[in-house]
């Protein structure tokens, strides 16, 4: 039977892949999880080190979906989504950087967004969209405060029968981020909302609450907690491990905010990937490291830091982490160790890594390197893989403050955006106006 999914709040009720992906969020406010986590078979382990990356990815997702998508379309989706590498770069000793920024928006979120886009498109086309009007394009709504919108817009660009509406707060995203949202055109429409990120989220919510509109326009969300974004993030854990010498069990350091990335690591481990230890590295938004130490979970409002993609005070994937450990603190604390570092330490680490190794690391990766160093102080024989979640050019201000002008190369695909013309529709922060526009 094809893989089914349950909500972390209703472990006895199941939906199919299509409902889990197109609904994104269960009605009970839990998060979708696969009913069965398959352990990969000997036939996988006999050859996994030799396959091209897209074949490796297919061999992981195939047992996980267990027939929910036929082989042909699934292979096509994977090949199309994972069309860039995730190289492991040694920076001396037993420290390795897993570069996850070689995709189109220069952040690891490309893996999740690109796969989700293709899967959503296929699910909609394959059998009509549930209760929606037949022949109606899928409309994906996404509110962004910066980085997610770029990955999602680029991922859905050109996906057939799919329209994307990105809502962003006017004047509150960086110039390059705005260009990533507003210069693609075609099936990507940018709405420049005269308000805050919270206003953008409120408008999106209003659209989903209008059941009739939601059905007529076939609305869905590209929310970061969609299970379809988690699955493809397992691929690069396997890919990292196979770039180490045979038999080495890596320690993975994961710079974390909403903990989707780390949760994908746990899934990989449960599917049979041998991992010595997971390390959750955070900035001062440290509710998970605090939980791992004390057993007490206390979400709180987030603090602003220089590693701002990790400024999360109530990480949404914590529910999945609890679920995977049967809500047992001891189990989770055995598999994951947490470390937190402040901005001053992070800035110093950016300078030190460059001085000692020549490698240029951005603030999120630097938090990871600090954690790696702390771990290796006690376990000098371990091979540690630090996930580098974005390209340094995305955090140019901090990088130039620490390393000086010109220290960071700006990749062509980001640099060429500067010359492109912004196209956005201005929208007041009014639910009525937004719904009227969406109906038209």
Ligand X SMILES: *Cc1c(COP(=O)(O)O)cnc(C)c1O
Binding mask 31-70 for ligand X (x = CB under 6 A): ----------------------------------------
By CB under 6 A, tell whether 357 contacts ligand X. Answer: no
Q: Cα(86)–Cα(151) distance, rounded to whole angstroms? A: 16
By CB under 6 A, tell whether 309 contacts ligand X. Answer: yes
Q: How far is CA 84 from the centre of its chain?
A: 16
Q: How many CB atoms lie within 10 A of CB 92?
A: 11
CA 142, 34, 266, 241 dihedral sign is: negative
- Phi-psi label, residue 66: left if phi above 0, alpha if psi -120 to 50, beta otherwise: left
By CB under 6 A, tell whether 257 contacts ligand X. Answer: yes
Q: Which of 136, 174, 201, 258 binds ligand X (CB under 6 A)?
A: 258
Q: Cα(80)–Cα(366) distance, rounded to whole angstroms? A: 31
**φ, ψ for residue 165, nearest 5 deg:** -120, 115
Q: Which of 103, 389, 399, 408 binds ligand X (CB under 6 A)?
A: 389
Q: Are 435 and 191 in contact (CB under 8 A)?
A: no
Least Cβ distance, residue 322 to ligand X (angstroms)? 15
By CB under 6 A, tell whether 277 contacts ligand X. Answer: no
By CB under 6 A, tell whether 305 contacts ligand X. Answer: no
Output the six-digit token pair for 362.
Answer: 């951005």
Least Cβ distance, residue 252 to ligand X (angstroms)? 13
Cβ closest to ligand X, residue 179 vs residue 364:
364
Q: Which of 22, 56, 166, 390 binds ligand X (CB under 6 A)?
A: 390
By CB under 6 A, tell whether 306 contacts ligand X. Answer: no
Q: Which of 255, 265, 289, 392 binds ligand X (CB under 6 A)?
A: 255
Binding mask 97-136 for ligand X (x = CB under 6 A): ----------x-x---------------------------
Distance (Å) of CA 126 to CA 77, 118, 134, 435: 13, 12, 12, 28
Q: Residues 146 to 185: which contact ligand X by CB under 6 A?
A: 147
Cβ closest to ligand X, residue 123 vs residue 310:
310
By CB under 6 A, tell whether 219 contacts ligand X. Answer: no
Pairing of strands 88-90, 277-282: unpaired
By CB under 6 A, tell whether 367 contacts ligand X. Answer: no
Q: Please provide the DSSP assignment of 28-75 as one string.
A: TS--EEES--PPPPHHHHHHTTTS-HHHHHHHHHHHHHTTSS-HHHHH
Cβ closest to ligand X, residue 4 vs residue 364:
364
**φ, ψ for residue 191, nearest 5 deg:** -110, 120
Contact positions toward ligand X, by CB under 6 A?
107, 109, 147, 255-261, 309-310, 364, 389-390
């Amino acid at each position: 039977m094809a893989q089914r999914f349950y909500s972390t709040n209703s472990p006895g009720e199941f939906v199919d892949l299509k409902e889990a992906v197109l609904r994104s969020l269960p009605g009970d406010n839990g998060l979708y999880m696969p009913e069965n986590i398959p352990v990969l078979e000997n036939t996988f382990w006999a050859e996994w080190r030799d396959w091209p990356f897209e074949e490796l990815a297919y061999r992981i997702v195939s047992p996980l979906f267990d027939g929910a998508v036929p082989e042909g379309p699934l292979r096509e989706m994977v090949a199309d989504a994972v069309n860039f590498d995730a190289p492991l770069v040694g920076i001396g000793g037993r420290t390795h950087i897993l570069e996850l920024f070689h995709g189109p928006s220069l952040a690891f979120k490309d893996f999740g967004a690109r796969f989700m886009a293709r899967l959503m498109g296929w699910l909609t086309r394959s059998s009509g969209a549930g209760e929606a009007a037949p022949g109606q394009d899928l409309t994906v709504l996404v509110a962004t405060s910066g980085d997610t919108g770029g990955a999602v817009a680029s991922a859905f660009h050109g996906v057939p029968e799919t329209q994307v509406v990105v809502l962003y707060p006017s004047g509150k995203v960086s110039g390059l981020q705005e260009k990533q949202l507003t210069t693609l055109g075609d099936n990507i429409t940018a709405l420049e909302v005269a308000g805050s990120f919270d206003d953008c989220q409120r408008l999106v919510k209003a659209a989903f609450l209008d059941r009739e509109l939601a059905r007529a326009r076939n609305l869905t969300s590209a929310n970061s907690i969609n299970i379809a974004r988690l699955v493809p993030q397992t691929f690069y854990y396997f890919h990292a491990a196979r770039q180490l010498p045979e038999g080495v069990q890596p320690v993975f350091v994961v710079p974390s905010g909403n903990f989707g990335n780390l949760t994908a690591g746990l899934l990989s481990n449960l599917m049979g990937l041998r991992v010595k230890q997971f390390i959750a590295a955070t900035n001062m938004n440290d509710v998970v490291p605090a939980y791992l130490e004390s057993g007490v979970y206390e979400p709180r409002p987030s603090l602003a830091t220089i590693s701002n993609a990790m400024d999360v005070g109530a990480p949404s994937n914590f529910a999945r982490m609890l679920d995977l450990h049967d809500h047992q603190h001891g189990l989770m604390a055995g598999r994951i160790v947490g470390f937190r570092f402040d901005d001053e330490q992070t800035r110093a680490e950016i300078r030190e890594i460059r001085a000692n190794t020549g490698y240029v690391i951005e603030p999120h990766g630097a938090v990871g390197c600090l954690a790696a160093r702390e771990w290796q102080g006690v376990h000098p024989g371990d091979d540690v893989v630090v996930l580098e979640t974005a390209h340094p050019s995305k955090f140019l201000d901090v990088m130039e403050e620490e390393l000086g002008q010109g220290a960071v190369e700006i990749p062509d695909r980001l640099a060429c955006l500067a010359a492109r013309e912004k196209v956005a529709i201005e929208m007041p922060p009014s639910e009525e106006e937004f719904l009227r526009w969406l109906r038209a």
